[in-house]
Structure 1
Amino acid sequence: MIRLHFTAADLCRITLAPAVDALAETALGAGLLLRPCGRDGGGGPGQARRARAAAREWRGRSARGGSTVRGGVLAELIGEDGFVPDFLLQPEVLDFAEGLEAAAATPPERLALDLGIPEAAGWNGALARPGRWARELAQGSTAASRALVHDTRHFFETWVEPLWPRIHRDTLADRALRSEMLLRGGVDALLTTLGTTWRWQAPTLHLPSVSTYDIPLCGRGLLLIPSWFATGPLVMYRPEAATVLVYPLNDAAAGDAGTDERPEALAALLGRTRARVLALLRSPATTTALAERASVSLAAASHQAAVLRAAGLVDTVRTGTAVLHSLTPLGHSLLAGVVR
């Protein structure tokens, strides 16, 4: 269990990143694609089993595509439990090319600590058995650094970049959901809904992990970065800046959780667009967020929500300057297929 300990100052300094960390996404995608059958550090299900539905579908399509998946040196860096060395997290540089350049410029002493070289560094998340290339990288080898840049760029361009429009769209939807939670219930609602297996018990956020750490945020706050590929939390402690928490995107906000359940029956009953809007409201949404999720205009989203509200399937309440749409019990029952 990882426990993040907040002070009053930290609760006032929680920020949402505007986008995913492209370099970290590449590393996490490599871990998911290169180790589909691996087991996590605690002996639990493989990383792929814990991935979001959309990420599992991506992995399945990639495996069926006939191309050989090669991660190069990334395969040595990414752990079977999804571990990503801190230097591959570049929270202040979300662009891939800039993030990769910053990672390649990491000082050798920092690399040695991140990778557990020498092992006396004592960082439990480091590589259990650093290979020859990782040791050379930590010693400042130019050739090792070039290999990192080449293999990471190749993996991004081959496997991640074609997916980037989808990642960007889903990130916008998740960001809208987090904003709604903050608007509806403040910081408590935001932290309570970050992950289904995460527990917010003020002033501590409890995150499931095979290792145990207590991390005081020390008044510097928390930077939240969404991830399309992450299967669990990634925490990066920074002694002079806000601690970074990478969290998996919300499936429902991105339109992945159950949006294809009973599609033909609901489409025949409600119309395809209206059925999709109903399914997307498993997670409450403002009109703007609903339009983004459904890829329709604001006017169309407002109209569809109004029709569903008139049918008793959706509730709409005003929250500040926005309106928030959510399913009624009848709407939930219709999606679950239990209405008789």
Structure 2
Amino acid sequence: MIRLHFDAADLRRIVLAPAPNALWEAALSLRSLRAGPAVPDRPRPGVKQWRRRVNGSLAERAGVLLDLVPRDGYLPDFLLQPAAPDLASAVDMAGRTPAEELTADLRVPDPAGRDTAAPPPSRWSLELAAGTATARRTLTADLRGYFDSSIAPLWQRVRTDGTADRALRAEMLLRGGVDALLTTLVPTWLWDPPVLHLPSRYTYDIPLCSRGLLLMPSWFGTGPMIRYRPDEPTVLAYPMHVTDASGTPAGPPESALGPLLGRTRAAVLGALREPATTTALAARTGVSPATASQHATVLRNAGLVHTTRTGTSVLHGLTPLGTALLAGEPPGPIRR
């Protein structure tokens, strides 16, 4: 479990990235290809078709990037350039990464203390870690070549889905504040103020230290990816919201909200079109009272549900934000 710890300043400094990061998406797409079809795709329309279209001659198209992008686990930080407005700028910035950062990002070990069971770094990785001009030119050339051959035909779709995701996150922030934004970011992530819990096989506690958080939507990402620098805002890349081929969630409201809230939580929200006690809510949704209460609490923290105590019972109902979300109300001006 990765835990991101917010303070009051961090909560005021949450920023939504303007678009997916082209360089980062290239790295994650290469990981998807290296993982192969045995690893299940997340339910995003288009990923399997894209994989079938580009899966040939990977070594020729990826070049030295195969030395940088493993099938899972850590990715070098210099492959995410959050300040870059486009691919050309990102590739240029990656190619100018200081040698000491390259060494740290590539995790090149001291030869005297290296674990002999681990595969040795390639000759090219050692040259890049040393910051040689030849290795830098090879890096930038292969980054451009891989993007042009593998990602460019898909990039408009990625940007379109990223724009839709950003509008959704902005709407949640405008209507329900930071609690609504962080509660609905990914169904399996838990916002328990002031800590955001991210499922992971690694265990880290990361204090944001008043520097804020940049939220980066990812088309190819399947889980949280974090870039932490002591003197910069932390970057959290998250899987963007899944839509159908037209860019619109399909099905009835609860089904459309499933990828955003989680199916059970979306069902709980839908069941509250008519106010209900915890016991009645559990009966409507087929879950235990304890589970119904837990989901109602999360939805209440997100500003979607209100709860009123009536004697020894509590009564749950929808807030205006919850009602609008179920109705699929489009973004509109804020009325004060």
TM-score computed with the length of structure 1 as normaliser: 0.69
Moved more, 240-249 or 129-138: 129-138
Match for residue 190 of structure 2?
199
2-structure distance, mates of 1:256, 1:83: 31
Q: State the Cα distance separating 1:100 from its structure 2 match.
A: 0.5
In structure 2, relative to structure 1, the CA distance for the partners of 1:146 and 1:194 (3 Å cut) is same
Match for residue 256 of structure 2?
282
2-structure distance, mates of 1:87, 1:169: 25
CA deviation map 1:102-155 (0-9, x unaligned): 1011111111111111259x9xxxx97532211110011222112211111111
1:62 pairs with 2:49: no
1:107 pairs with 2:103: no
Match for residue 315 of structure 1?
327
CA deviation map 1:74-119 (0-9, x unaligned): 1111121153210111001131011001101111111111111125
Moved more, 248-257 or 108-117: 248-257
CA deviation map 1:215-265 (0-9, x unaligned): 100011000111111111110112112110111111038856874x8xxxx
Q: In the alignment, which of 133, 136, 152 is matched to residue 143 of structure 2?
A: 152
1-structure distance, mates of 2:97, 2:2: 26
1-structure distance, mates of 2:128, 2:21: 22
Q: State the Cα distance separating 1:56 from its structure 2 match.
A: 3.0
Q: State the Cα distance separating 1:194 from its structure 2 match.
A: 1.1
Q: Does the Cα contact within 8 Å between 1:255 and 1:280 map onto a contact in 2?
A: no
Q: Does the Cα contact within 8 Å between 2:41 and 2:47 map onto a contact in 1?
A: no
**Unmatched tracts of structure 1, length 5 or more:** 39-45, 262-277, 285-313, 324-340
Name the SS for the 1:113 alignment partner: helix
Match for residue 76 of structure 1?
67
Q: Does the Cα contact within 8 Å between 1:237 and 1:243 map onto a contact in 2?
A: yes
2-structure distance, mates of 1:187, 1:282: 22
**Unmatched tracts of structure 2, length 5 or more:** 259-325
Name the SS for the 1:79 alignment partner: coil
Q: State the Cα distance separating 1:210 from its structure 2 match.
A: 1.8
Q: State the Cα distance separating 1:35 from its structure 2 match.
A: 2.8
Match for residue 16 of structure 2?
16
2-structure distance, mates of 1:159, 1:316: 35
In structure 2, relative to structure 1, the CA distance for the partners of 1:316 and 1:4 (3 Å cut) is closer
CA deviation map 1:263-318 (0-9, x unaligned): xxxxxxxxxxxxxxx6899249xxxxxxxxxxxxxxxxxxxxxxxxxxxxx73669
Q: In the alignment, which of 212, 217, 220 is matched to residue 221 of structure 1?
A: 212
Q: State the Cα distance separating 1:322 from its structure 2 match.
A: 5.8
2-structure distance, mates of 1:72, 1:9: 43
Q: Does the Cα contact within 8 Å between 1:74 and 1:148 map onto a contact in 2?
A: yes
CA deviation map 1:182-224 (0-9, x unaligned): 1221101111111121111111111122211111000110001
1:1-340 residue pairs with structure 2 within 5 A?
1-37=1-37, 46=39, 48-50=40-42, 52-63=44-55, 67-70=56-59, 71-81=62-72, 83-118=74-109, 129-252=120-243, 259=250, 282-283=256-257, 315=327, 321=333
2-structure distance, mates of 1:166, 1:318: 21
Name the SS for the 2:58 alignment partner: coil
Aligned length: 261
In structure 2, relative to structure 1, the CA distance for the partners of 1:318 and 1:31 (3 Å cut) is closer
Q: Does the Cα contact within 8 Å between 2:218 and 2:238 map onto a contact in 1?
A: yes
Name the SS for the 1:49 alignment partner: coil
Q: Does the Cα contact within 8 Å between 1:253 and 1:283 map onto a contact in 2?
A: no
Moved more, 247-256 or 177-186: 247-256
TM-score computed with the length of structure 2 as normaliser: 0.70
Match for residue 299 of structure 2?
none
2-structure distance, mates of 1:244, 1:52: 23
Name the aligned partner's letter for residue 118 of structure 1: P
In structure 2, relative to structure 1, the CA distance for the partners of 1:159 and 1:199 (3 Å cut) is same
Q: State the Cα distance separating 1:172 from its structure 2 match.
A: 0.7
Name the aligned partner's letter for residue 196 of structure 2: L
2-structure distance, mates of 1:157, 1:10: 37
Name the aligned partner's letter for residue 315 of structure 1: A
Q: Does the Cα contact within 8 Å between 1:28 and 1:82 map onto a contact in 2?
A: no
In structure 2, relative to structure 1, the CA distance for the partners of 1:248 and 1:105 (3 Å cut) is same
Q: Does the Cα contact within 8 Å between 2:45 and 2:244 map onto a contact in 1?
A: no
2-structure distance, mates of 1:36, 1:322: 46
